[in-house]
Amino acid sequence: MSMKIPFFNNKQSVESMHYPEENTPEHIAIIMDGTGRWAEKRGMSRVYGHKEGVTTVINIVKAAVKFNVKVLTLYAFSTENWKRPNSEIEYIMGLPKKFLNMYLADLISNNVRIKVIGDMDHLPSSTRETVQYAIDRTENNEGLQLNFALNYGGKQEILNAMKEAIADINDAKLSLDQLDKQQFSRYLYTSGMTDPDLLIRTGGEKRLNNFLLWQLAYSEFWFTDVLWPDFSEREFIKALEEYKQRKRRFGGV
Ligand code: IPE
Ligand code: IPE
Ligand code: MG
């Protein structure tokens, strides 16, 4: 039996909060929105919000570890976010390094496995190398699977999967008859993972932004106006509590 080493305590004491484990979603996906507005409201530049958002990321990862969530997928940068000013993009692309410098050791001791979903080939090389290092260092861990959606787009993911499946059909590695939903999902970035049970979006908007279009087909959605830097373990628990009340019928009765 492996022992969980608690994360360093910070101002928000996670030890003081308890959450019953039954009916916890296995896979939670989060659209972390509202970081720019959080900073603008304080008369500061948007990147200050992104910086604060990193603290929320680690707090929510800790909570997910504590509640035995199996997979946590965080939307960090979409394929549409390249439309932003260069200076903001550069700052965001530097965040994985800041995050991992601060927390990789903790994540490793908590048995967290890091993965990236999205087109890693077109990330700046320094960002790619940093996240690749974390992926390699944690690949044998068996605790929480932490997916960062980086340069991720759902339509692109489905299109790429389709192209790869067609290539395999052409190479006779797969027959057209074999290509069903289960086979197809093996070509997605989320291959081998269960689909999200719960989608959370912070920041007040109610849209998907090209996130996990295939995988969210039957997920429960939970929205909050709270901006990502203000999102806390307490808010996270609210989402989990509401999830517990939902009746998932998957089309049945
Ligand atoms: C989400 O917050 C983080 C990223 C997309 C990187 P935003 O940057 O979209 O913040 P708002 O929505 O403009 O407040
Ligand atoms: C948040 O949405 C997407 C991510 C967290 C990556 P955006 O802020 O990019 O999108 P809008 O505001 O819905 O356009
Ligand atoms: Mg936004």
Res. 12 pLDDT band, cuts 50 70 90: very low
Query: Which pLDDT belongs to residue 6?
Result: 57
Instruction: Read off the amino acid at residue 84.
Output: R
Residue 214 has pLDDT above 70, yes or no: yes
Res. 1 pLDDT band, cuts 50 70 90: very low
Count of domains observed in the chain: 1
- Assess whether 121 carries a catalytic annotation: no
Q: Which of 33, 59, 151, 197 is catalytic?
A: 33
Q: How far is the CA of 141 from the centre of ligand 1 (A)?
A: 30
Average pLDDT over residues 196-206: 98
Q: Which residues touch 86 (CB under 8 Å, ≥6 apart)?
A: none
CATH number of the domain that residue 219 is part of? 3.40.1180.10
Domain assignment present for 113 = yes
pTM score above 0.85: yes
In angstroms, how far apart are the furthest CA atoms of the chain? 59
Average pLDDT over residues 106-110: 97
Domain assignment present for 39 = yes
Which atom of ligand 1 is nearest the CA belonging to 39?
A: 14
Domain assignment present for 185 = no
Q: Are 189 and 206 contacting, i.e. CB atoms less than 8 angstroms apart? A: no
238 lines ligand 1 (CB under 6 A): no
150 lines ligand 1 (CB under 6 A): no
Domain assignment present for 103 = yes
Among 15-29, 82-96, 168-182, the range scoring the smallest mean pLDDT is 15-29
Domain assignment present for 18 = no
Q: Are 188 and 214 contacting, i.e. CB atoms less than 8 angstroms apart? A: yes
Q: Which residues touch 152 (CB under 8 Å, ≥6 apart)?
A: 75, 77, 78, 79, 117, 118, 119, 189, 210, 211
Average pLDDT over residues 215-224: 98
Q: Which residues touch 51 (CB under 8 Å, ≥6 apart)?
A: 95, 98
Domain assignment present for 188 = no
Site to probe by mutation for ligand 2, drawn from 30, 31, 32, 33 as the one with most ligand atoms within 8 Å of Cβ, is 33
**If you average pLDDT over every residue of the chain, what do you get?**
94
Res. 19 pLDDT band, cuts 50 70 90: low
Domain assignment present for 252 = no
Q: Which residues touch 246 (CB under 8 Å, ≥6 apart)?
A: 220
93 lines ligand 1 (CB under 6 A): no
Query: Which pLDDT belongs to residue 22?
Result: 80
Instruction: Encode pLDDT of 76-104 as tens digits.
Output: 999 999 999 999 999 999 999 999 999 99
Domain assignment present for 65 = yes
Residue 127: which domain range?
27-152+195-240
